[in-house]
Copies of this chain bind each other. A is one copy, B any other.
Amino acid sequence: MPLHLRAGQALELLRSIALAEVRDDAPDLSLRQMAILLTIYLDPPPHTVRGLAAKLNVTKPVVTRALDTMGAKKLVSRHRDERDRRNVLVKRTLEGALYVERLGDVVIARGGELPL
């Protein structure tokens, strides 16, 4: 059964998500970083810096910096493309998959608490 959210419920869901991220000591990503991370984990590979920048409508340095930060947190990894060594291929990691999975759980859990 599809959920038909009313405005107040939609905003409560959004606040629950934001709150869960704020309260936890989980790696708190900016919205940009979250959009990049979710794209990597939801869209089929391969993912390149340029491709991600174009898809999200941000500049390349933004992607590079986001990959720096999330790479330090082991949420993604970078590898040179051996077929075209100009390219960098962005790949998923176990830690990143767990983080994304937990993120989905938060949405589902909080969504389930909404009064319908």
- How many residues does chain A have at the interface if contact means C-beta atoms less than 8 Å apart? 47
Of the candidates B35, B103, B116, which one forms a contact with A112 in the assembled complex, judged by CB atoms under 8 Å apart?
B116
Contacts of A104 in B (CB 8 A): 7-8, 10-11, 14
Of the candidates B31, B103, B113, which one forms a contact with A22 in the assembled complex, judged by CB atoms under 8 Å apart?
B31
A89 interfacial by beta-carbon distance below 8 Å: no
**Is the Cβ of A3 less than 8 Å from the Cβ of B57?**
no
Contacts of A28 in B (CB 8 A): 31-32
**Is the Cβ of B111 less than 8 Å from the Cβ of A19?**
no
23 contacts between A and B (CB under 8 A): A1-B115, A2-B113, A2-B114, A2-B115, A3-B115, A5-B108, A5-B111, A5-B112, A8-B42, A10-B108, A11-B41, A11-B42, A11-B104, A11-B107, A15-B34, A15-B38, A18-B31, A18-B38, A22-B31, A22-B32, A22-B56, A22-B57, A22-B58
Q: Residues of A with Cβ closer than 8 Å to B?
A: 1-8, 10-15, 17-19, 21-23, 28-32, 34-35, 38-39, 41-42, 56-58, 100-101, 103-105, 107-108, 111-116
